[in-house]
A and B are shown apart, each in its own frame.
Chain A
């Protein structure tokens, strides 16, 4: 199976090609192509994964992609525990999202295009995961970026979607550029972009691995610098502070896209890359690059959880929770919890996909994103409610759901390796339970309030006409449950949100550890004498208590309204608008980078036209003026001289003219006189 793993990304790629060229003709049948391709990928991916589970050795294949002098750049793929389990997750969760989309997107005028982009998205993600060099990883990585751009702006008639897609691409590209510089630095250092060669070199810590660069008087280990630059990519892609701003806006895409971006692909890419390139971070002096990862993650987790508290858009709350959970994963990886961070990536994929899809089902039913306009939906949407509840419990970290096991692992590692991180993450866990309970209370409990302004249709009548469809009527009476093709994936993901965590139960692996710890292990720990802390009941109970406390507080405020939220809002004063406006970070970027950039561009344009080109025209003008002067000189001096010669000649001619009488006897007289003169002179000489 591992030898065939190269086909895994190619199936969705082929599906993309088919849908891009034949999508219109396929019409309603377009999803079969996409889902069929995904099923084949899943089959191969799971085959390779189960082989790894059974203990097959990692498989690596590479080929030369480009040459530079005598050096080569290779591309290829690796099948090992990390890549295979991630592929298994992507194909499963991604496939379920595809199925759900069949129902959610039905009747859309660009139905085939949607599935084409989804397929390409998964192809990019699978390429990125299976890649065995920074080069191929980057290719997959940017294809993901492209697809997120295309899908976030799928409703391309909407100005807000246009802005969101640009914001997503550009913000992540800032990170990508840093990563590219990091890759350049790695190539400089090691002469290759191959993962295995680089990781082997940093592990051995030879000369090139311990190089130092001077940055304005500071001596920075090159290894740390490269690792941190590479980390720029994940910061952008996985929505870490300060490049997190694009992720909440990515909600402009259709809901299945949000699920895909927030769970199985895109944001997972960043965390995966940190896991994949773990040696790069680990083998820096004092693991200092990992410390940065840990703190960026912790800060992100906390800030995003705070912002989530003040949002009213159901998808936006979930988006901030994604940022926060990604922070958890980064923090886990940063505090030496290699398996813990990646485990949370896997469990989170299930319950976050579930939450988004269930939210989509809610939006589908009520026609608004605003949770304040919902309420009491548990009666109208029973399947959606119960599955959402499963996702909620998993996210909040309630026993025995998946999030409990993976989040607990992270907290456990933090407790042992970085107590400050532990404290902050525990606070975040409390906030997580709080804002999620708030969301559940507003959406599913109380009485149904109904939307004041239902979302307008994203398409214009001409879009429908062009596709040969009729614009749907958006008459929303009472909300109704979604069709089976949508609830089916919800149920499957709900089951996943429960059972996926079981691989993290202590005792499922050898020596009393968990299976996931055994499967995803980082060899460097053993060499460095770092032992994973073993499961501890007091800590687990403490984190469970934190989660339950969050739920309880939310229940008091939003459920029983013992302390109405309005009073809390008044009590905290400016904190609420501060959080609600995303701490004004987006506004700041808008002023500094967008407006600043445009102003600079306009200024340089002026400079170009008036100064640079002005100089050129000045030279041209001066040349013209000089040539005019030349012409005067030419006319009066050069030509004047010529004329002078003419005049002199003419004057002499005039002087001599009287001699030219034209009468023969005059000439004969003169000739005779001359002859006489000659004779006289000759005689004289004698």
Chain B
């Protein structure tokens, strides 16, 4: 059974099924959508069950000719990196769909777009052909554009267009990079096969062209991550997006950028990336500290979480830059692998934790108070004990409390990167204190102190909300306490990448 293809297109099939349902029957549309997203999640676990632990390289590869004349094929496969990110995608899609049961505006289109988005994101992680990859990469843009533009807040159109154009500019730059690579393959052997292009590295030693292609990819990924100073689309998109859209945006779409750096930029352009690694690390450290400080100054909870993402993705980029610096330095290989494990772990941790944080904001904003102002609350813990416990756990996870998942990621990033970039890493460690400061301050303003009488009668989490939040909290704790099973999978991929950097 072609399990990857099945997982990849299940949501699309779901979207097609939705087309045939009457749009008045909102309840059935929701259930069908949830059914398909759950089935996709189970299918992604099926991939896990077939995955051979301990075997390097791509696995479960499925391929078919598509446009043979120009060397385009349908080729998908997974390794430790893409597998864990794919499972994260399917899990958060299912939870987002479950969360969105309260959405009553144009339910059919809403759910359809979510399923379409899922196929797009999975395709990015599975694709092993640059053309296919690019198609899926662009496919993720469209549903998110509409999700923000139709179901968003007051400034949704500005945010949606900004999101779309900003990332599109990046994608086009990447497209140029892909074409440069393609046309530097010897005629007759031209292919879009990712593994083949990585093996041949057609632009190695071409100087300026390699630089151009590197920066093309860089721009695309850096905007997506987003790295400082390309981050300003993020707070706008988050603030305006509907809750579930924010969850997917933060948890998965940002990871497309970091995934791209690890999957493509590192192996394709090791020399050029190494040359620019200090610059990338500088931007990453700026992102860490700047993101945390600007988050501290926010009064809108969604913006606060958005800027905390800038901070966390900075850690990931620091690790990636450190790995790039290790190119051709055998003594740093182990540290590079550790840093990359940390980076991947941070992608997952940030996905789970920040996903939970946006849900937490949504729970209070969408159905209860219709305000996200940090200063509009106070004493909520007494009124909403379950909600308080979940939110506070997620915030402590985000600030890197040991025993929760974020710590594992940060610890690995720090110990790995320190051996390569001691000064940058020590500076980035400052971010830990600032992150702690703004999250604690947030907890204080929302949950502690006297209760704002306006909210004295709010209902606590209902069963559906518990079902969306508790799985995430459980994962934070499980992988925070014992990350080894997850890291065994990730480590395979990191060792592969490091081997390519040799």
Q: Which chain A residues have a beta carbon within 8 Å of chain B's beta carbons?
A: 20, 64-71, 73, 135, 138-143, 146, 149, 153, 156-157, 159, 162, 165-166, 169-170, 173-174, 176-177, 180-181, 183-185, 187-188, 191, 193, 460, 462-463, 466, 597-598, 600-602, 604-605, 608, 612-613, 615-616, 620
- B389 contacts which chain A residues (CB < 8 A)? 20
Q: Say yes or no: is B387 at the interface (Cβ < 8 Å to chain A).
A: no
Instruction: Tell me the bound Cα distance from A597 to B438 in angstroms.
Output: 11
Contacts A66-B412, A142-B403, A185-B422 known; 14 new A-B pairs at CB < 8 A: A20-B389, A67-B341, A67-B487, A68-B342, A68-B412, A68-B416, A69-B336, A142-B401, A143-B401, A156-B448, A180-B411, A180-B429, A184-B415, A187-B418
Q: Are A166 and B430 in contact (CB under 8 A)?
A: no
Q: Which of B90-98, B250-258, B293-301 contacts A (4 or more CB under 8 A)?
A: B293-301
Instruction: Tell me the bound Cα distance from A436 to B412 in angstroms.
Output: 47
Instruction: Tell me the bound Cα distance from A395 to B188 in angstroms.
Output: 87
Considering only CB atoms and an 8 Å cut-off, how many residues of chain B contact the other chain?
67
Q: Which chain B residues have a beta carbon within 8 Å of chain A's beta carbons?
A: 162, 165-166, 229, 231-233, 290, 293-294, 296-298, 333-339, 341-342, 379, 381-382, 389, 396, 401-403, 407-408, 411-412, 414-416, 418-419, 422, 425-426, 429-430, 432-434, 436-437, 440-441, 444, 447-451, 456, 482-484, 487-488, 491, 494-495, 498
User: A463 is contacted by which of B233, B382, B432, B498 (Cβ under 8 Å)?
Assistant: B382
Instruction: Tell me the bound Cα distance from A169 to B419 in angstroms.
Output: 28
Q: Are A616 and B334 in contact (CB under 8 A)?
A: no
- B416 contacts which chain A residues (CB < 8 A)? 68
A537 to chain B, nearest CB (A): 48
- B293 contacts which chain A residues (CB < 8 A)? 597, 600-601, 604
Majority secondary structure of chain A interface residues (helix, strand, loop or mixed): helix
User: B498 is contacted by which of A69, A135, A620 (Cβ under 8 Å)?
Assistant: A69
Instruction: Tell me the bound Cα distance from A181 to B422 in angstroms.
Output: 9
Given contacts A181-B429, A191-B334, A460-B450, contact A135 B294 (CB under 8 A): no
Query: Which of B334, B396, B444 has the most chain A CB within a 10 Å cutoff?
Result: B444
Majority secondary structure of chain B interface residues (helix, strand, loop or mixed): helix
- B422 contacts which chain A residues (CB < 8 A)? 184-185, 188
User: A149 is contacted by which of B296, B412, B440, B441 (Cβ under 8 Å)?
Assistant: B440
Q: Are B290 and A604 in contact (CB under 8 A)?
A: yes
Q: Are A173 and B484 in contact (CB under 8 A)?
A: no
Query: Which of A67, A71, A605, A612 has the most chain B CB within a 10 Å cutoff?
Result: A67
Q: Are B425 and A184 in contact (CB under 8 A)?
A: yes
Q: Are A68 and B381 in contact (CB under 8 A)?
A: no
**5 A-B contacts (beta carbon < 8 Å):** A65-B484, A177-B430, A184-B415, A185-B422, A612-B232
Q: Are A135 and B411 in contact (CB under 8 A)?
A: yes
B33 to chain A, nearest CB (A): 32
Q: Are B436 and A180 in contact (CB under 8 A)?
A: no
Q: Are A157 and B379 in contact (CB under 8 A)?
A: yes
Q: Are B448 and A69 in contact (CB under 8 A)?
A: no
Instruction: Tell me the bound Cα distance from A268 to B372 in angstroms.
Output: 41
Nearest opposing residue in chain A for B434, CB measure: A597
Q: Are B488 and A67 in contact (CB under 8 A)?
A: yes
Given contacts A67-B341, A68-B341, A162-B449, contact A170 B436 (CB under 8 A): yes
Q: Are A181 and B448 in contact (CB under 8 A)?
A: no
- A65 contacts which chain B residues (CB < 8 A)? 482-484
Q: Are B294 and A608 in contact (CB under 8 A)?
A: yes
- A142 contacts which chain B residues (CB < 8 A)? 401-403, 407
Q: Are A66 and B402 in contact (CB under 8 A)?
A: no
User: B441 is contacted by which of A73, A139, A166, A462 (Cβ under 8 Å)?
Assistant: A166
Instruction: Tell me the bound Cα distance from A180 to B430 in angstroms.
Output: 11
Q: Are A466 and B436 in contact (CB under 8 A)?
A: no
Instruction: Tell me the bound Cα distance from A169 to B448 in angstroms.
Output: 15
Nearest opposing residue in chain B for A72, CB measure: B484
User: B440 is contacted by which of A166, A193, A602 (Cβ under 8 Å)?
Assistant: A166
B344 to chain A, nearest CB (A): 11
- A64 contacts which chain B residues (CB < 8 A)? 484
Instruction: Tell me the bound Cα distance from A177 to B396 in angstroms.
Output: 16
Instruction: Tell me the bound Cα distance from A176 to B433 in angstroms.
Output: 9
Query: Which of A184, A188, A463, A605 has the most chain B CB within a 10 Å cutoff?
Result: A184
Q: Are B403 and A185 in contact (CB under 8 A)?
A: no
Instruction: Tell me the bound Cα distance from A166 to B488 in angstroms.
Output: 37
Instruction: Tell me the bound Cα distance from A174 to B431 in angstroms.
Output: 11
Q: Are A605 and B381 in contact (CB under 8 A)?
A: no
Given contacts A67-B487, A69-B334, contact A598 B297 (CB under 8 A): yes
User: A169 is contacted by which of B402, B403, B440, B491 (Cβ under 8 Å)?
Assistant: B440
Q: Are B432 and A156 in contact (CB under 8 A)?
A: no
- B229 contacts which chain A residues (CB < 8 A)? 612, 615
A155 to chain B, nearest CB (A): 10
Q: Are B419 and A188 in contact (CB under 8 A)?
A: yes
Given contacts A66-B484, A157-B450, A601-B293, contact A170 B433 (CB under 8 A): yes
B190 to chain A, nearest CB (A): 34
